[in-house]
Structure 1
Amino acid sequence: MFGFSTMLSRKVLFTLGAVTLLGLTGCQATKSNIAQTGPLMVGPGAQTALGKVEKDYTYNSDIYLDIAVPVFNPGLPLNDRGEVDYEEVDEQQIWPQLRRAEAKRFAIQTKKALENTGAFGSVSVVPSPNTSADVFVLGSVDLSDSEFVKVTATVVDSTGDIWGNRQFEHQVSKGFFRDAQNKDKNPYEPIFKEIGDYVFDLLVKQNEQEKASIKETTKVRYAQLYSPETYGKYIEQKLVKGRSGIQDHYRFNLVGAPSENDRMLSRIEVLKTQDQMFVDGLQEQYLAFDAETVESYRTWQRETLPEAVAAREAKSERLKSGILAGVFAVGAVLLNKNSGSTAGAVGKTVGALASAYFIKDTLDKNAELKVHKESLDEIGEKLDINLSPSVMEFDNKTVELTGTAGEQYEQWKSHLRKIYEVESAQAQDNKL
């Protein structure tokens, strides 16, 4: 009987050992040490780094669409009332002020990537989608902890046609900042290049007729803002049910077009130029914001990267410890149920002690995670944003705009509409 118990104990312990090894090691692929990729080339003409492939941005078209990149959605969790859910903010380890800064920085980086394609007319960062453009890149920050970044981009044109929707993800190597050559580099840069390439690939799928229609729709929709009774008849608006990952949205179809000699439309085009001038001025402010925050933000990335990696590894260890605790607890139960002998009693005791040890280790790891979180919070709270006021001049009149970039833009658009209303009233009086 004692021999049977001993054999059973060994069998159970062997099984536990095998399960433990499986839980700890998993299935990991071994990377081979390949020095280079791509064909070897030395001597004159070997300027390109081996293995590096540059995307060819060949754009064979005379129609250049203007593209707007609204400040990204910071991805803050909201409650049923549409307010920031701070319990979820804490649970997800998000710092609202940092995320809002990232929402601007990410839009700016996307702008730079799009400009690099050379395939668009103007490329502008704007406070919101409430602006005039041929194409919009709507982004949201899904995750950003200095190690991992996830961004979702939706590309839609002025007709309301959604070109595409995709989530992009990038992991920063924990050794990124060890290389002195990376001192002034953005560790998130690859994700914005991917977005730029993605939008470019969607652009080249549009034929000339589609792009011409987009431009005409942009023009008429802008005119409709000033005179809906005059230009609304040329646009048909329809609500379209969203599909997977895309919300409901409106489509705008041209059912006609104003005359090329339309004097009112010509005046609106002058106002649109003023509108674009303000947007162009905003670019300087956004780029200034990017330059002013880059040092602080890069410090945050550099200092929190090892913390983020350590927190993730601690969490992984906590999960493994929890699994081991469960394994040993189950083992103790099995030994106890299958043997009333001394071996069974010893097995129960060993299993219980091991279970207690790993549960304690799990709790210790929770405390470690808390330390990492507090460290990340402390650094994240140091970053804030500022935008300076603007002064605009048009028709010998100066307008001072204050507040956020979005507030300033709305004030300027309101001023342009007032100018149009005054001029329209004067033109009507002259007819009488």
Structure 2
Amino acid sequence: MYLDVAIPVFNPGFPIDDDTGHVDYQELDELDIWPQLRRAEAKRFAVETKQALAKTKAFGSVSVVPNANTSADLYVLGTVLHSDSEFIRLEVTVVDSSGEPIDTEDFEHQVSESFFRDAMNQDKDPYEPVFVEVADYVYELLTDMSEQQKQQLKNTTLVRYAHYYAPDAFAGYLSQQLESKRGTQFYKYELNAMPAENDPMLQRIEVLRNQDMLFVDRLQDQFAVFQQTTNGPYRKWQRETLPEAVRAREARSERNTKAVIGALGFIAALALGNNSTSTSTAVAKTAGALGSAWLLKDAYQANENLRVASAVIDEMGQGLDLTLSPQVMEFNEQEVELTGTAAEQYEQWKAHLRKMYQLESSAN
């Protein structure tokens, strides 16, 4: 039995101000994060996770979606913890359709400084191994499930979807309660019973669900276009900044070592009652070096070879969501024009389907 998987655009991992609940841009700058690049990565990494999962051939549909507000048996939720062209670190949580988080794991990969020196790697993704690891991880979680558990998840997915369109009719089939797992609270949906297969309301819901999936399928083409558009500029960024990222890390390591040695010398001098200012001067110089940390983003902003690539990334990373052209969708000879971002158009389409369902139900 094959489970359907939804992969929402990754959380970009921006630091949040505890007081305002908004992005802490000062800390963002201190962490050397280019916001537009990270937003572009949040979309790219979701697409690359989809591609890696699809290669396992162990799942049904595998779709990238704007957010988790969609129907699926499994959700792969990713957060970008770090990405600087040398290191990538991700946090991945797998949640099933009952709302229960199955497991959470961190993944890290270091790109060799010589990766792009091999001509065979020019068009390859240096981050690919981490997405293969993620796919293997999700696959292992799947193999731990029995066929009965998989069927239960698919039934839960269907009834939850039906409950969205007809809450009164399907309320008795589901129960919901607040639970906690490894310190995380969540609402878990329990399936009390299944409607009969020939239930006319459920059959109408199945028709709506097919229309819903049609929109999600179209979205996959849009995410594929985004990936293709950003491939060149992003790969150029990786190729140009990889040596800089390595040097920045080595410089930070050297400065930290000097700071520790200097501080130890200063403490030793104090213990010996040394009145010489030479040690304290050395410590002051080391502290100054730490304060004027070399920023990776300064390097790629000054790199002539990256100007065009940076412009594309700036444009494609303005928001986490995809901006789509207006499109006309049709269902039951009723047309509706959808506008806005991918998430906005998806919500408009679901609202239209719900309206059509209610009109049909009232007519019957």
TM (norm. structure 2) is: 0.91
Structure 2 CA distance for partners of 1:371 and 1:124, relative to 1, 3 Å: closer
What does residue 178 of structure 2 align with? 239
What does residue 370 of structure 1 align with? 294
Instruction: Encode CA deviations 1:95-142: one digit per residue, 9 max, x unaligned.
Output: 221111111111100000110110111110011111111111111111
> 1-side partners of 2:140 and 2:295: how far apart?
44
Paired residues for 1:177-216 under 5 Å: 177-216=116-155
What does residue 324 of structure 2 align with? 388
Preserved CA contact (<8 Å) 1:158 1:218? yes
Asked if 1:155 is matched to 2:94, the reply is yes
Instruction: Encode CA deviations 1:148-194: one digit per residue, 9 max, x unaligned.
Output: 11111111111223221101111111221111111011111111000
SS of the residue 2:218 aligns to: helix
Alpha-carbon distance, 1:371 to partner = 5.2
Alpha-carbon distance, 1:69 to partner = 0.6
Preserved CA contact (<8 Å) 1:325 1:356? no
Paired residues for 1:99-114 under 5 Å: 99-114=38-53
SS of the residue 1:211 aligns to: helix
SS of the residue 1:119 aligns to: coil
> 2-side partners of 1:318 and 1:235: how far apart?
59
The letter for the 2-side match of 1:170 is H
> Which residues of structure 1 form unaligned runs of 5+?
1-62, 338-347, 428-432
Structure 2 CA distance for partners of 1:295 and 1:255, relative to 1, 3 Å: same
> 2-side partners of 1:377 and 1:251: how far apart?
47
Percent identity for Structure 1 against Structure 2: 51
- Structure 1 residue aligned with 2:238, among 301, 307, 318? 301
Asked if 1:70 is matched to 2:8, the reply is yes
The letter for the 1-side match of 2:143 is V
SS of the residue 1:416 aligns to: helix
The letter for the 1-side match of 2:141 is L
Alpha-carbon distance, 1:372 to partner = 3.8
- Structure 2 residue aligned with 1:169, among 108, 111, 115? 108
Paired residues for 1:78-157 under 5 Å: 78-79=16-17, 80-157=19-96
Instruction: Encode CA deviations 1:292-327: one digit per residue, 9 max, x unaligned.
Output: 001111111112212222211111111112122223
Instruction: Encode CA deviations 1:261-311: one digit per residue, 9 max, x unaligned.
Output: 111110110010000000000000001100000111111111221222221
> 1-side partners of 2:69 and 2:168: how far apart?
20
What does residue 41 of structure 1 align with? none
> 1-side partners of 2:64 and 2:295: how far apart?
37
Structure 2 CA distance for partners of 1:277 and 1:242, relative to 1, 3 Å: same
Structure 2 CA distance for partners of 1:217 and 1:371, relative to 1, 3 Å: closer
Preserved CA contact (<8 Å) 1:152 1:166? yes
- Structure 2 residue aligned with 1:420, among 357, 360, 363? 357
Structure exhibiting the larger radius of gyration computed from Cα positions: 1
SS of the residue 2:64 aligns to: strand
Structure 2 CA distance for partners of 1:371 and 1:90, relative to 1, 3 Å: closer
Instruction: Encode CA deviations 1:53-103: one digit per residue, 9 max, x unaligned.
Output: xxxxxxxxxx11111111111111112332111111112111221111111
Q: RMSD between aligned alpha carbons?
A: 1.9
Paired residues for 1:258-297 under 5 Å: 258-297=195-234
Structure 2 CA distance for partners of 1:359 and 1:320, relative to 1, 3 Å: farther
Structure 2 CA distance for partners of 1:364 and 1:158, relative to 1, 3 Å: closer
> 2-side partners of 1:376 and 1:319: how far apart?
24
Alpha-carbon distance, 1:361 to partner = 5.0
- Structure 1 residue aligned with 2:259, among 313, 322, 325? 322
> 2-side partners of 1:196 and 1:124: how far apart?
14
TM (norm. structure 1) is: 0.77
Preserved CA contact (<8 Å) 2:5 2:62? yes
What does residue 281 of structure 2 align with? 356
What does residue 410 of structure 1 align with? 347
> 2-side partners of 1:131 and 1:234: how far apart?
20
Instruction: Encode CA deviations 1:336-365: one digit per residue, 9 max, x unaligned.
Output: 46xxxxxxxxxx64xx43552464255346
> 1-side partners of 2:260 and 2:297: how far apart?
23
Alpha-carbon distance, 1:366 to partner = 4.5
Aligned residues: 350
> Which residues of structure 2 form unaligned runs of 5+?
317-321
> 1-side partners of 2:60 and 2:12: how far apart?
27
Instruction: Encode CA deviations 1:15-71: one digit per residue, 9 max, x unaligned.
Output: xxxxxxxxxxxxxxxxxxxxxxxxxxxxxxxxxxxxxxxxxxxxxxxx111111111
> 1-side partners of 2:173 and 2:290: how far apart?
64
The letter for the 2-side match of 1:78 is I
SS of the residue 1:121 aligns to: coil
> 2-side partners of 1:372 and 1:196: how far apart?
30
Structure 2 CA distance for partners of 1:364 and 1:87, relative to 1, 3 Å: closer
